[in-house]
């Protein structure tokens, strides 16, 4: 078993103690702690169990850090119900390139941790890149041949 840094062990002990405290609270005190911790009114539709889980996450996040950038982007896309983007981030890992030839010009987009990189610029979506290339609104996944059922992808490929 690996040795822990004494500071890390202390931090974990503190986190565990805080979590045990939250788990022992009655619903009224959970609401009070929620308002204190998040500086917001307790959302009406959330159950006490969910409030406790969110408080426990916040305790861990404050002490040990939160999600990495890629996970935050994925969660944001899920929250906005951007289904195409969620599927793309699951399927296409950073470093993957998608290629599309359009009007005789080959366009290469690399999936990065921060978004989609084309011609040295980072974009939030493939659709924004497709718009830059064509000058009109396009579904980025369709333009780059990433949607299932897209038969126009003969000159496109994902590498």
| pLDDT above 90 as % of the chain | 34
Picking from 70, 75, 82, the residue whose alpha carbon sits closest to that of residue 125 is: 82
Residue 140 lies in a domain: yes
DSSP string, 60-99: HHHHH----HHHHHHHHHHHTT-HHHHHHHHHS-TT-EEE
Q: Write down the pLDDT at residue 159.
A: 46
- Total structural domains in the chain? 2
Choice between 85 and 129, residue whose per-residue pLDDT is larger: 129
* Residue 150 C-beta-side C-alpha neighbours within 13 Å: 16
Q: What is the pLDDT of residue 75?
A: 75
Higher pLDDT, 155 or 113: 113
Q: Residue 108's pLDDT is what?
A: 92
- Let me know whether 99 and 137 are in one domain: yes
Q: How far is CA 125 from CA 9, 37, 95, in A?
A: 41, 34, 15
In a domain? residue 116: yes
Residue 106: domain span: 92-158
Report pLDDT digits (tens) over 42-57.
888 889 999 999 999 9
**Is 72 contained in some domain?**
no
Q: For residue 153, what pLDDT is reported?
A: 43
Question: In the chain, pLDDT over 70 holds for what percent of residues?
Answer: 79
Ranked by mean pLDDT, which of 84-88, 102-106, 146-150 comes out on top? 102-106
Q: Would 79 be classed as within a structural domain?
A: no
pLDDT band at residue 21 using 50, 70 and 90 as cut-offs: very high
Rounded to 5 degrees, what are φ and ψ at 97? -115, 140
Q: Evaluate whether residue 73 is within a structural domain.
A: no
Answer whether 15's CB lies under 8 Å from 59's CB. yes
Domain membership of residue 78 (yes or no) is no
Instruction: Output the six-digit token pair for 122.
Output: 């980072």
């Amino acid at each position: 078993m690996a040795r822990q840094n004494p500071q890390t062990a202390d931090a974990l002990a503190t986190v565990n103690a805080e979590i045990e405290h939250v788990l022992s609270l009655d619903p009224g005190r959970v609401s009070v702690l929620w308002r204190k911790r998040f500086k917001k009114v307790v959302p009406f539709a959330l159950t006490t169990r969910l409030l406790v889980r969110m408080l426990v996450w916040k305790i861990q996040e404050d002490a040990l850090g939160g999600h990495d950038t890629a996970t935050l982007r994925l969660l944001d896309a899920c929250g906005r119900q951007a289904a195409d983007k969620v599927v793309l981030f699951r399927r296409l890992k950073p470093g993957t390139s998608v290629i599309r030839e359009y009007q005789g010009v080959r366009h290469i987009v690399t999936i990065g941790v921060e978004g989609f990189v084309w011609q040295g610029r980072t974009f939030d979506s493939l659709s924004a890149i497709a718009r830059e290339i064509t000058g009109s609104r396009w579904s980025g996944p369709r333009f780059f041949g990433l949607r299932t059922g897209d038969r126009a992808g003969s000159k496109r490929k994902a590498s």
